[in-house]
């Protein structure tokens, strides 16, 4: 029996602009099961970030009843440093649990656990602003783990990262999967992570144009949706993960 944690039915989102209404999403339907690792691909402006903002509760769709989320969701923005509120990783991770009213002992345990899970224990008291790009994304995820959020959304997690940073993020994604977390990855850089996915969805001009396995996705004419097929440079699906 499936365990659906996110259910989206005919979701649309229109924005009012000076030039008139602009459709960001058009009748998108999607279901995500608990523990699934889903890669959502699409060019810039395809609607990926709008869709994830709605799932995370930061924005509403045009139909109030079109999205049902059955567990708490954390969203890591493309610019992860905008989410850093503490002077150090330890302070930053503690912010959420403290605001939830947890006891001092509970907060400390949550901080230590999240630091360990994301490999940041040795950076606990390091100035957060001096962390690398990969470390800042890991810190953002650590904050969500500390609050025991079961679903994590990563919006363009490889933006502006070098090879080492990409490897750090992918190692973290592997750990999240091993821990049974539901992981949604929004990216156009399929060569870096598609090999980690259980499922692959493509958005194009606000519409869902593909939903299936990563292997099936690579058989599509991705260029028609302005996505570069990574098999032009790599040999097979198993090669599509930087590690």
Catalytic residues, which ones? Answer: 156
What lies within 8 Å, CB to CB, of 219 at 6+ separation is none
* E strands in 88-197: 151-155, 182-187
The whole-angstrom separation of Cα 93 and Cα 210 is 37
- Cβ-count burial 48-76 (b if 16+ within 10 Å, e if not): bbbbbbbbbeeeebeeeebbebeeebbbb
SS3 content of the chain, % helix, strand, coil (to 5): 40, 25, 35
Q: Considering only CA atoms, which of 63, 67, 26, 17 is closest in space to residue 205?
A: 26
Alpha helices in 118-204 (DSSP H): 133-146, 163-178
Using the Cα atoms of residue 48, residue 53, residue 54 and residue 59 in order, give the sign of their dihedral: negative
The whole-angstrom separation of Cα 87 and Cα 122 is 15
């Amino acid at each position: 029996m499936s365990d659906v944690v996110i259910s989206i039915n005919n979701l649309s989102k229109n924005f009012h602009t000076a030039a008139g209404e602009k459709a960001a999403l058009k009748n998108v339907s999607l279901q995500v099961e608990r523990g699934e690792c889903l890669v959502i691909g699409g060019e810039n402006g395809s609607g990926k970030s709008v869709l994830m903002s709605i799932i995370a509760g930061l924005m509403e769709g045009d139909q109030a009843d079109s999205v049902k989320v059955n567990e708490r969701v954390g969203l890591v923005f493309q610019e992860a440093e905008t989410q850093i509120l503490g002077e150090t990783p330890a302070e930053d991770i503690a912010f959420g649990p403290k605001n939830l009213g947890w006891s001092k002992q509970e907060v400390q345990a949550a901080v230590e656990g999240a630091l360990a899970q994301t490999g940041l224990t040795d950076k606990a008291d390091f100035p957060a602003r001096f962390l690398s790009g990969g470390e800042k994304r890991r810190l953002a995820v650590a904050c969500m783990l500390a609050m025991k959020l079961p679903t994590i959304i990563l919006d363009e997690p490889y933006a502006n990262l070098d090879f080492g940073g990409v490897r750090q993020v992918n190692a973290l994604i592997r750990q999240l999967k091993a821990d049974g977390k539901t992981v949604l990855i929004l990216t156009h850089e399929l060569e870096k992570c598609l090999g980690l996915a259980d499922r692959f969805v493509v958005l194009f001009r606000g519409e869902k144009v593909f939903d299936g396995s990563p292997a099936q996705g690579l058989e599509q004419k991705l260029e028609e949706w302005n996505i570069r097929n990574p098999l032009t440079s790599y040999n097979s699906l198993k090669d599509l993960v930087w590690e």
